Amino acid sequence: MIDSAAQFLELLFSRRTIRKFRVESVADQVVLRIVEAGQRAPSACNLQTYTIVWVKDAEQKNRVWNACGVPKSIQDAPVVFVICADVRRLAKALDYLHYDHCLRHGYGYALKLMSMIDASLAAENMTIAAECYGLGSVFIGSALANERVIEALGLPKGVLPLTLLCIGYPDEEPPTRPRLPLSAIMHVNSYRDSSNEEMELFLKQMNSELEKEGYYSKYSKRKPSYLYTDHIKGKTDLANFKQWESEIVAVGKKTGFLPNESI
């Protein structure tokens, strides 16, 4: 366990995603403590508009794995959470109070956006708590607005899956992943676009560091020549996004997370 500020900062700076887990269970009391740590994250106006689904049943896990296309090594993670934005509970509380609230009339889009922030902050607290217990974690983004995840978990309108958070004992020791220089992401007083020269340096650094580890060959079976610049192109491919975005919009409407959708 972490018992000093220096140790805690070292934990933050050394944290890395784990994609290979030992087949070893995590005690329920540890899991509950991790979720409690998530609850201590900041919450907009203390509305706590998120829900964490702990998927314990083996069949349910398989449904979620299949829905998200999770690799086998990650499926060995003993603890699986689905992190959800949730404005339904807030709407239900207001209904209970017989209050004619904005969500009932299709307003409250800001609340829906803030619920995604609330859920993300809680999830980040949970990853740090897991690290304190010597556990590793990985986020699986393919749960986002995933219709099959919604069906598997019976999520009602007003609840939107954002990500899986898989936790367990690491069975690998990867290096920390490279990040852009601080100058690329921190601006002082006002925004400043990076120059072409700076952009070239940023991308060259990311290419070099990830190529050194063979990151994309190791985790996505890419050719050694595949670089970070190829990665960001693939993740923003127009044709793929046209299809995916139409699906996300449809799920967003169904779950009530678009503007003018009542809860």
CA-wise closest residue to 57 among 65, 48, 49: 65
Residue 247 lies in a domain: no
So what's the pLDDT on residue 35? Answer: 98
Residues 170 and 186 in one domain: no
Please count the structural domains in the chain.
Answer: 2
The answer as to whether 139 is a domain residue is yes
Statement to judge: residues 19 and 114 lie in one domain: yes
Give the full edge-to-edge strand order of the sheet including 136-140.
Answer: 50-54, 79-86, 159-168, 136-140
Structure token digits, residue 160: 């939107």
Quote the tokens at residue 229: 């610049």
Q: What is the pLDDT of residues 83-101, one digit of tens each?
A: 999 999 999 999 999 999 9
Asked if the structure places residue 81 within a domain, the reply is: yes
pLDDT of 172 above 80: yes
Within-domain flag for 190:
yes
What would the pLDDT profile of 192-204 be if each residue is shown by its tens digit? 999 999 999 999 9
240: three-class secondary structure by DSSP: helix
Same domain, 134 and 96: yes
Average pLDDT for residues 40-69, to the nearest whole number? 97
Q: Global pTM?
A: 0.94
**Domain residue limits at 162:** 14-174
Structure confidence at residue 3 as a pLDDT band (50, 70, 90): low
Residue 90, domain member (yes or no): yes
